[in-house]
């Protein structure tokens, strides 16, 4: 049983010798079956972390370790089988002329035999509820559908770690929810580690843990609940908390004590009922 799927050990990185450090001494781990959210304002180093995780970049200092193996030029091809990544703009990710060809691409790259490939394509598309679109042209799909196909392509190769780098950023709230539900279902049924890099505060609430990046450093690592209580400190580095958290924090300033920081509307309502009944 592998404990840590991903480990960053004192990782520092800059894009060139004459440029500033983009990541400074970044350390964290991700366990199997864990959902980690990474937040931080633009330029704080989130996408650089994602690229270091599947060997698109290599650290200048420190180590990136995937399932106990240090990521190097030699191990990168094995690591890429384990770590799947979906980016913000699905249009830049399509290579096939049909949805089927597109999902097949990652499998072909891995030399998977035809029967297994057909099965994996079907499974991938089924997981994102796009089975009916097998022969459609990717560029004709809606934004949400494109992103689901991109995710199907990642799922098809059965990685142990899936990274979504602002993969829901271009979608409307409904599309966003759908993607998150899809990957969450997958995580439940396939025991994978999920890393979501996001601006969507509601996505953070569902994660097991959150890392807040600021100016290339890990500013805070905590559970979503604890993070939402730190509204004032977060605001100082230009980040916000969800509306429910704001409401809960404001209520508590009027001497109403909640038993815990609510993560969503339902939890806040439950807290208020409890408060009322105990009064």
Ligand X SMILES: Nc1ncnc2c1ncn2[C@@H]1O[C@H](COP(=O)(O)OP(=O)(O)O)[C@@H](O)[C@H]1O
Q: How far is 257 from 14, CA to CA, in rounded Å?
A: 46
Work out whether the CA dihedral 258, 259, 264, 269 comes out positive or negative: negative
Residue 198 interface partner, choices ligand X, Mg ion, none, CB cut-off 5-8 Å depending on type: none
The region of 43-51, 57-65, 79-87, 116-124 touching Mg ion under the rule CB under 5 A is 43-51
Q: Is residue 238 close enough to count as binding ligand X by CB under 6 A?
A: no
| Smallest distance from Mg ion to CB 27, Å | 20
Residue 15 makes contact with ligand X by CB under 6 A? yes
Candidates 8-16, 39-47, 119-127, 268-276 — which segment interacts with Mg ion by CB under 5 A? 39-47
In whole angstroms, the minimum distance from the beta carbon of 58 to ligand X comes to 14
40 near ligand X (CB under 6 A): yes
Size of the site for ligand X (CB under 6 A): 10
Cα–chain center distance at 109 = 24
According to DSSP, the residues that pair with 13 across neighbouring strands are: 23
Among 5, 48, 168, 193, binds ligand X (CB under 6 A): 48
Q: Alpha carbon 169 to chain centroid distance?
A: 12
- Span between the terminal Cα atoms of the chain, in Å: 49
Contact status: 47 vs Mg ion (CB under 5 A): yes
- Does residue 198 touch ligand X according to CB under 6 A? no
Based on the shown chain and the rule CB under 6 A, indicate whether residue 43 belongs to the binding site for ligand X: yes
Token pair in block for residue 48? 């650089």
Closer by beta carbon to Mg ion, 47 or else 193: 47
Among 30, 35, 45, 148, interactor with ligand X by CB under 6 A: 45
CB count within 10 Å of CB 142 equals 11
Least spacing, CB of residue 38 vs Mg ion, in Å: 10
Location of structure tokens 């509601």 = 202
User: Minimal CA–CA distance to 27: which of 12, 40, 42?
Assistant: 12
Q: Which residue is nearest to Mg ion (CB)?
A: 47
Q: Which of 7, 30, 35, 44 binds ligand X (CB under 6 A)?
A: 44
Q: From residue 96, how far is each of 56, 76, 101, 173, 206 by CA, in Å?
A: 22, 24, 5, 28, 33
* CA 231 to centroid of chain Cα atoms: 22
Nearest CA to 143 out of 165, 121, 172 is that of 172
Q: Which is nearer to Mg ion, 47 or 182 (CB)?
A: 47
Work out whether 85 is an interface residue with ligand X (CB under 6 A): no
Per the DSSP assignment, residues forming a β-bridge with 209 are 36
The residues that touch ligand X, with contacts defined as CB under 6 A, are: 15, 22, 40, 42-48
The residues that touch Mg ion, with contacts defined as CB under 5 A, are: 46-47
């Amino acid at each position: 049983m592998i404990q840590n799927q991903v480990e960053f050990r004192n990782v520092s990185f800059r894009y060139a010798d004459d440029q500033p450090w983009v990541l400074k001494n970044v350390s964290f781990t991700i366990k199997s079956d864990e959902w980690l959210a990474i937040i931080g304002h633009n330029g704080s180093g989130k996408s650089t972390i994602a690229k270091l995780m599947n060997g698109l970049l290599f650290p200048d200092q420190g180590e990136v370790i995937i399932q106990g193996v240090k990521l190097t030029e030699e191990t990168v091809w094995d690591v890429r089988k384990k770590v799947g990544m979906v980016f913000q703009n699905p249009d830049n990710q399509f290579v096939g002329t049909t949805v089927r060809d597109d999902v097949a691409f990652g499998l072909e790259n891995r030399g998977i035999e035809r029967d297994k490939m057909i099965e994996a394509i079907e499974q991938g598309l089924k997981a994102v509820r796009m089975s009916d679109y097998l022969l459609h042209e990717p560029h004709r799909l809606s934004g949400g559908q494109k992103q689901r196909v991109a995710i199907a392509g990642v799922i098809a190769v059965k990685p142990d770690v899936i990274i979504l780098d602002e993969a829901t950023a271009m979608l409307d709230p409904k599309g966003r929810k759908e993607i998150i539900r899809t990957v969450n279902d997958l995580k439940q049924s396939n025991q994978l580690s999920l890393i979501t890099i996001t601006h969507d505060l509601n996505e953070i609430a569902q994660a097991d843990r959150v890392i807040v990046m600021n100016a290339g450093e890990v500013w805070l690592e905590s559970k979503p609940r604890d993070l939402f209580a730190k509204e004032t400190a977060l605001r100082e580095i230009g980040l916000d908390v969800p509306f429910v958290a704001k409401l809960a924090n404001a209520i508590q300033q009027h001497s109403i004590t909640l038993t815990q920081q609510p993560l969503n509307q339902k939890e806040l309502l439950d807290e208020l009922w409890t408060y009322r009944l105990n009064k």
